[in-house]
Chain A
Amino acid sequence: MSDYIVEMKHITKSFPGIVANDDVSIGIKKGEIFALLGENGAGKSTLMSILSGMYEPDEGEIYIRGEKVQISSPNHAANLNIGMVHQHFKLVEDYTITENITLGIEPIKRFAGLFPYVDIRNANRKIEELSKDFGLEVDPTKKIADLTVSMQQRVEILKVLYREAEILIFDEPTAVLTPQEIDFLLGIIEGLRNSGKTIILITHKLEEIKKVADRCAVLNKGKLVDVLDVKTTSVNLMAQLMVGREVSFESEKVPAQFKEEVLKIEHLTVKNEDGFEVVKDVSFTIRSGEIFAIAGVADNGQVEIADAIAGLTKVSNGKIFLEGKDITNESIRNRTEIGISYIPEDRQSYGLFLDFDLSTNLALKQYYKEPFSSKGILNKDVFEQFGSKLIDQFDIRSGQGIKTQVRSMSGGNQQKAIIAREIELQSPLMIFVQPTRGVDIGAIENIHNMMIQQRDQGKAILLVSLELEEIMNVADTIGVIYNGQLQKVASSESLTTNEVGEYMMGAKHE
C-alpha cells in the first residue's frame, strides 16, 4: 500500500499527429502541493484532463487512494473527490454566485411536500459558511457579471470545494491575475493544503512553484523529465529541464537610444459599443528606438488604445500623430501605408484568415500592391516566392510549406507568421498586443529578441501585455493603465514590479 492519494502509472495518450503523454508515471501524496511544470504542448493539461475524466488514456492505470479506477467522465471524477479549477472560467454570467456554485446539484425542497423548488436561502447560507472556512469571502447573492476576475476565480474554487473535492487541480490559475492577486491566491492554495486538501498546480511560471509547491514534475514533449523536490532545486535547473536547454531569463539588451518622436497621442478618448469611455484622456509619445509598454490588468482599455492607433476603433476625442502627421481619421489601410505594423491580440480572429493558406496570409498587408498584383490581377508566383522567403527567414514551421492552411498550424507558428508579415512591412511604428500569449517559452524568447532587434533598428514599439514579467523584461518605458487612464509613465529602470502592480490595481496614482 503506497502513501500516494493519486497514482498515474505509464499513462500514454496520443492525438492525431502527436503523442501528448508518453509513458508518464507520477504519484501525488495526500496533503501536498504538487506542481506540473512544462511548456505549452508539453502534455500537462492532457494529463490532468485524463485525471479529471475529460479524456481516457490509451494506456496506463490510475489509482485513487490505492484503488484502481477508470475515470470515464467529469462526474465520475467528482465522485472520486477530484475537482478542477479551469483556466477559462465556466460560469453563467447572469446567475448569482450561489446559483453558479450549486448548478446541477441544487438543494431541493418540496413545497407542500409536492412541488420541488430550489432552496436558495439554505444554499446561500451554506456557501457563505464554506467561503469563510477557506478564507474566500464572497457575497453569494452577487451576480458573476459584477465580479472582478479574481473574484470569479474564487467562485470557481468554491464550486470545486462545494462538491467536496479533496484533490484540487488548478489549471494555470495565475494567468489572469495581478501580482498582488497572485500572492493572495497562492496564500489560499497554501491554506487549502494546510486544511488537508491535495493540490495539483499546472503552471509554467517558475517563481510560483518555488513559492508554494512541495514537489514538482517536469514534462517536456509529453515525457516526464523528472520529479523534483522544490526546496532543493534551483529555478534555473527547473527551467532547463522544462525547455530541454539553457534559457536566459533576461533578454539581452543594449541600452536604448531614443531618437526622434514617432508616435504622439494627445488626449485620446475612446468609447466602446455601449458608449462608455474605456480610454480616458490618454497622452503619451513613443520615440524611435524605444519600447513603450502599457501594463495593466485585462480590460482596462489598453487594447482599445492599440486598436485606436491602428484605426480599428473610432476615436471619440483626441488626436493621434504618426511622424508628425495627423492620422486620427485615416483609414486602416492608409495607416498601414503611412507606417503602422500591428500584431493584434486575437491572432485567430483578427490576425489571420485561418482558412486561407500560409502564403496568402503572409502577403495580407501587401496583396493589392505591385508586385503582388498589377492592374487588379493577383500574381500567385510572387505570393509564393514572398511566402517561401519569409518562412525561411523567420523559421515558420508548417506541414505543407506555403500551401498549409493556417488553421492547422500551431499557435506559436501562427504568431511567427503574423510577426514576420508585420516586420516585413518595415513600418516605423510596430504595435505588439500580447505577442507571447499562448506561445511556449522557446518562442517567447525568440519573439522578445525580435522586438529588441526591431527597436535597435530604430523602430518605435508599443507593447501591450498582461504579463508583468514580460514588460519588466523588454520595455524601456512603462505606462501603467487602470480603468482607461494612464496612472504613471516612467522609465522601466525606475520602477519595481511591485510598484507597477500597485498602479495596475489603481491603489496608487500620481
Chain B
Amino acid sequence: MNKDKKKKSLSYRLFWPIRNEKWQPISIPVASILISFIAAAIVILLLGKNPLQAFYNLFQGAGIFPKSSYAGYKSILTDFLSLLNAMTPLVFASLAVAVALRAGLFNIGVSGQMLVSGFLATVIVGYSGLDAIIAKPLVLLVGIVAGGLMGGLVGWLKYRFNIHEVVSTIMLNYIAQYVISFFIQMYYVDPVSRQSKYISEEARLTLVNVEIANLKMDIPLGFILAIIIAILIKFLMDKTVVGFEIKAVGSNRKAAKYTGINVGRNTVLAMIISGGLAGLAGVTYYLGYFSSIQPKVLSSIGFDSIAVALLGNAHPIGIIFSSFLVSIIDQGSTYMSSQAGIRQEIASVIIGLILLFSACGAYVKHKVSRLKEKEEDRKDSES
C-alpha cells in the first residue's frame, strides 16, 4: 500500500483538491477556468500570437492591470468602474438562474423577463421626467414586480397545468421579444438609432460621466445593490424556512410533499424570486448599462447567466466571482484586439470555453467519485 502511494504521489498531490469533496465546490470551477485558458492559449498560438500578452491585454482592458497610456479623463479606475457596470446585470441574472436551480427549475426565460421589466420600467419611469430620488427606486420596483410576475406565471403554469418551465419560458421569450419590439417600433422608436428613445438621466441606474478628480466615470449604483442582494439570497437560502422549503422542493418533490411542504406554492414562489432577480438584471441592463432597448433582440446575458451560475456552483457568493471573471474577459476584449491584433471574437471563444468546461463540472465530479471508488476497490484488493 505504501508503495502504491509513492507511485502516484505527484499526480495524487496535484489533484487532491479535486478529489477532496470538501474542496470540490472551489477546485472544480478553478480547474475548468484553468483548462479553458490553456485551450484558449492554444488557439491564440495557432494564430501566431503570444497568448500571455493577449491575456495580459485582456486584464488591462478590463481595468485590472494599468494600460500603458490613457485618453483624457480616463484611468484604470474608469475602466474598472465600467467593468462593474457591465457585471451588474450578469450578477442579477445568474442569481435568478441559481434560485430557480435550487428549486429544481430551469429558468431559461431570464432574457425575456429582463426585456419585459426593462421595457416596462422604460415606459413607466424612463420617459416620465420624475426626479431621480423617486425615479431610481421606482425603476427598481417596476423591474422586480414585472420580472416577478412573469416568473410567477411560469411557476403557476408548471404547478397548475404541469407545463414544463423550459417550454413555457422559451415561448414567453418569443412573445416578449416580438410584442415589445412591436411597441417600440410603433410608439417609442428613435428614428436615428432605430432603438427605443433614450431614457432620462434621472431614471438611469448608472450615473454617467461623473467628474471626480479630473476623471469622467460611470458609477453603477446597481452594483452595490447586486452585492447586497447576493448576500440576502444566501441568507434566504441557508438560514430561513422559506429557503429550506425551496431547497427541499428542488431536492426531492415527493419527499417535500410527504413532509407537508406545499410544493405548488414553493414552485411559484421560487419562480417569483427568480423572475424578480431577472427583473433587476433587466433594469440594470436596459436602464443602467444601456439607456435604450434594441427591438427584436434578446440579451445574451440571460443565457450566459445559466453557465455563470453553474460556474459559481449556484452559490450567491460564487456567482459574484464567476460573473466578475466572465465580465473581465468580455470587457477586456476590445483592448486585447487593438493591442495584440487578435480579433475580438477570440474573447468570446474564451468565454465560451469557460462556460463549456464549467458546465462539465458535474461530469468531472461524477467521474472523480467513480475513479475514487475504483481506486479504493483496487487498493483494498491489493492490501
Q: Does B252 contact A (CB under 8 A)?
A: yes
In the assembled complex, 30 residue pairs joining A and B whose CB atoms fall closer than 8 Å, in A order, are: A15-B380, A16-B376, A16-B377, A16-B380, A19-B380, A58-B381, A59-B381, A312-B257, A331-B262, A332-B258, A332-B259, A333-B262, A335-B260, A336-B260, A349-B252, A349-B255, A350-B254, A350-B255, A352-B255, A353-B248, A353-B255, A356-B251, A367-B244, A368-B241, A373-B240, A373-B241, A376-B241, A377-B240, A378-B240, A378-B241
A351 to B252, CA, bound (A): 10
Instruction: Let me know if B244 and A355 touch, CB within 8 A.
Output: no
Residues of A within 8 A of B179 (CB): none
A354 to B251, CA, bound (A): 9
Q: Add 15 more A-B contacts to A58-B380, A331-B262 (CB < 8 A).
A: A16-B376, A310-B258, A312-B257, A332-B257, A332-B258, A333-B262, A349-B252, A350-B254, A352-B255, A353-B251, A353-B255, A354-B252, A365-B260, A373-B241, A378-B244
Q: Does A285 contact B (CB under 8 A)?
A: no
Nearest CB in chain B: distance from A109 CB, A: 43
In this complex, which of A59, A312, A335, A376 has the most chain B Cβ atoms within 10 angstroms of its Cβ?
A: A376
Give residues 347-372 of A contacting B (CB, 8 Å). Answer: 349-356, 364-365, 367-368
Give residues 172-221 of B contacting A (CB, 8 Å). Answer: none
Closest residue of chain B to A364 (Cβ to Cβ) is: B259
A341 to B377, CA, bound (A): 41
Residues of A within 8 A of B248 (CB): 353, 356
Nearest CB in chain B: distance from A189 CB, A: 34
Q: Does A34 contact B (CB under 8 A)?
A: no
Give residues 341-369 of B contacting A (CB, 8 Å). Answer: none
Instruction: Let me know if B251 and A14 touch, CB within 8 A.
Output: no
Q: Does B239 contact A (CB under 8 A)?
A: yes
Given contacts A58-B380, A59-B381, contact A351 B255 (CB under 8 A): yes
A367 to B245, CA, bound (A): 10
The 5 closest A-B pairs by CB, nearest first: A333-B260, A58-B381, A332-B260, A16-B376, A14-B380
B-contact bits for A334-346, CB 8 A (1 contact / 0 none): 0110000010100
Nearest CB in chain A: distance from B365 CB, A: 13
Give residues 244-281 of B contacting A (CB, 8 Å). Answer: 244, 248, 251-252, 254-255, 257-262
Q: Does B38 contact A (CB under 8 A)?
A: no
Contact of A355 among B242, B251, B257, B261 (CB under 8 A): B251
Instruction: Let me know if A351 and B380 touch, CB within 8 A.
Output: no
Interface of B: prevailing SS: helix
Residues of B within 8 A of A353 (CB): 248, 251-252, 255
Instruction: Let me know if B240 and A365 touch, CB within 8 A.
Output: no
A19 to B241, CA, bound (A): 42
Instruction: Let me know if B259 and A365 touch, CB within 8 A.
Output: yes
A190 to B254, CA, bound (A): 43
Residues of A within 8 A of B244 (CB): 367, 378
Q: Does B373 contact A (CB under 8 A)?
A: yes
Nearest CB in chain B: distance from A461 CB, A: 19
Closest residue of chain A to B378 (Cβ to Cβ) is: A58
A-contact bits for B313-324, CB 8 A (1 contact / 0 none): 000000000000
Residues of A within 8 A of B241 (CB): 367-368, 373, 376-378
Measured CB to CB, the residues of A under 8 A from B are 14-16, 19, 58-59, 310, 312, 331-333, 335-336, 342, 344, 349-356, 364-365, 367-368, 373, 376-378
A344 to B254, CA, bound (A): 11
Contact of B242 among A16, A335, A376 (CB under 8 A): A376
Nearest CB in chain A: distance from B4 CB, A: 15
A354 to B259, CA, bound (A): 14
Given contacts A331-B260, A344-B258, A356-B251, contact A376 B240 (CB under 8 A): yes
A16 to B377, CA, bound (A): 6
Closest residue of chain A to B381 (Cβ to Cβ) is: A58
A312 to B261, CA, bound (A): 11
Residues of B within 8 A of A354 (CB): 252
Nearest CB in chain B: distance from A77 CB, A: 21
Given contacts A356-B251, A376-B240, contact A351 B258 (CB under 8 A): yes
Residues of B within 8 A of A356 (CB): 248, 251
Nearest CB in chain B: distance from A34 CB, A: 27
A356 to B262, CA, bound (A): 19
Nearest CB in chain B: distance from A414 CB, A: 12
In this complex, which of B244, B251, B376 has the most chain A Cβ atoms within 10 angstroms of its Cβ?
A: B244
A-contact bits for B9-52, CB 8 A (1 contact / 0 none): 00000000000000000000000000000000000000000000
Closest residue of chain A to B253 (Cβ to Cβ) is: A349
Residues of B within 8 A of A332 (CB): 257-260
Residues of A within 8 A of B254 (CB): 349-350
A-contact bits for B284-326, CB 8 A (1 contact / 0 none): 0000000000000000000000000000000000000000000
Residues of B within 8 A of A15 (CB): 377, 380
Closest residue of chain B to A334 (Cβ to Cβ) is: B260
In this complex, which of B239, B248, B260, B381 has the most chain A Cβ atoms within 10 angstroms of its Cβ?
A: B260
Residues of B within 8 A of A336 (CB): 260
Residues of A within 8 A of B259 (CB): 332, 364-365
Closest residue of chain B to A342 (Cβ to Cβ) is: B258
A331 to B261, CA, bound (A): 10
Closest residue of chain B to A350 (Cβ to Cβ) is: B258
Residues of A within 8 A of B377 (CB): 14-16
Instruction: Let me know if A14 and B258 touch, CB within 8 A.
Output: no
In this complex, which of A59, A342, A352, A378 has the most chain B Cβ atoms within 10 angstroms of its Cβ?
A: A378
Residues of B within 8 A of A367 (CB): 241, 244
A312 to B377, CA, bound (A): 42
Given contacts A16-B373, A16-B376, A59-B381, contact A377 B255 (CB under 8 A): no
Closest residue of chain B to A337 (Cβ to Cβ) is: B260
A19 to B242, CA, bound (A): 43
Residues of A within 8 A of B251 (CB): 353, 355-356
A224 to B188, CA, bound (A): 84
Given contacts A16-B373, A378-B241, contact A312 B258 (CB under 8 A): yes
Residues of B within 8 A of A344 (CB): 258
Closest residue of chain B to A15 (Cβ to Cβ) is: B377
Closest residue of chain B to A307 (Cβ to Cβ) is: B258
Residues of A within 8 A of B258 (CB): 310, 312, 332, 342, 344, 350-351
A386 to B298, CA, bound (A): 50
Instruction: Let me know if A14 and B255 touch, CB within 8 A.
Output: no
A14 to B382, CA, bound (A): 11
Nearest CB in chain B: distance from A306 CB, A: 11
A349 to B380, CA, bound (A): 32
A274 to B251, CA, bound (A): 27
A351 to B248, CA, bound (A): 12
A352 to B376, CA, bound (A): 28
A342 to B254, CA, bound (A): 14
A-contact bits for B62-96, CB 8 A (1 contact / 0 none): 00000000000000000000000000000000000
Contact of A377 among B239, B260, B262, B381 (CB under 8 A): B239
Give residues 80-130 of B contacting A (CB, 8 Å). Answer: none
Nearest CB in chain B: distance from A347 CB, A: 10
Nearest CB in chain A: distance from B313 CB, A: 14
A336 to B373, CA, bound (A): 40
Residues of A within 8 A of B239 (CB): 377-378
Nearest CB in chain B: distance from A350 CB, A: 4
Closest residue of chain B to A354 (Cβ to Cβ) is: B252
Given contacts A349-B252, A352-B255, A353-B252, contact A14 B381 (CB under 8 A): yes
Residues of B within 8 A of A342 (CB): 258
A335 to B255, CA, bound (A): 16
Residues of A within 8 A of B376 (CB): 16
